[in-house]
Amino acid sequence: MLTLALYTINNMEYYRSFDQLRVTELPVLRHGFWRPWYELTDGQFSYGKLTYSGAMKRSCLLETATGSWVVKRKGWLSRKFIIEQPGGTEIGMVTPEIWSRKILAELNDGFSANFFNKKLLSRTFTWVNEQYGDMLSVQAKAFSRSRPFVVHIDTGVVNTLPHLPLLALLGINLILFKQAEAAAAT
């Protein structure tokens, strides 16, 4: 676990901060075939990375310039996900609601947001908060393997919301999880 923390601290210099973001759209690039990892980029700079590890991709490492987080299931049969820092400190919980499209993310500092698609057959999922409104949306691209997602960010909340990098990568992870569930159900 210590090597993971040292690795992420050294790699945090590689990413550009969301404060320096000048565009409203960030495509997500998929790298690799057997063990894919995803990069949030604007074509010139990298803003974050999402990688999977463990047996059956049970944990996900989210890395940005402001920090890194590990997202994993609370238990083998649990619907809930735990958000941890690489040292093992739990900082939040992600809970999909039963019989609903909404997924609630609650952080220990009191921040909470819902992640859902506003239209029934839409491929665009949005993070919504009571205070900030629509913060960012993640659009899944159909039939695009190398660029499967595009993240649309409201530039008005970039400097006011410190959790924006976490929400962007967490949204991609949740869509990938929903896609894997749908593929397993068929």
- The answer to whether the pTM exceeds 0.95 is no
Q: Can you give the pLDDT of all 186 residues of the chain as single tens digits?
A: 434 444 444 566 789 998 888 888 999 999 988 888 999 999 899 999 999 987 666 789 999 999 999 999 888 888 899 999 988 899 999 999 888 889 999 999 999 999 999 888 888 999 999 988 888 999 998 888 888 999 999 877 788 888 899 999 999 999 988 888 888 887
Total domain count, the chain: 1
The answer to whether the beta carbons of residues 21 and 47 sit under 8 Å apart is yes
Which token pair is 141?
A: 């691209």
The answer to whether the beta carbons of residues 78 and 85 sit under 8 Å apart is no
Which token pair is 53?
A: 């590890």
Beta bridge partners, 37, equal 31
CA distances from 72 to 17, 26, 75, 83, 162 (A): 25, 25, 9, 7, 22
d(CA 67, CA 80): 22
Domain containing 151 equals 2-185
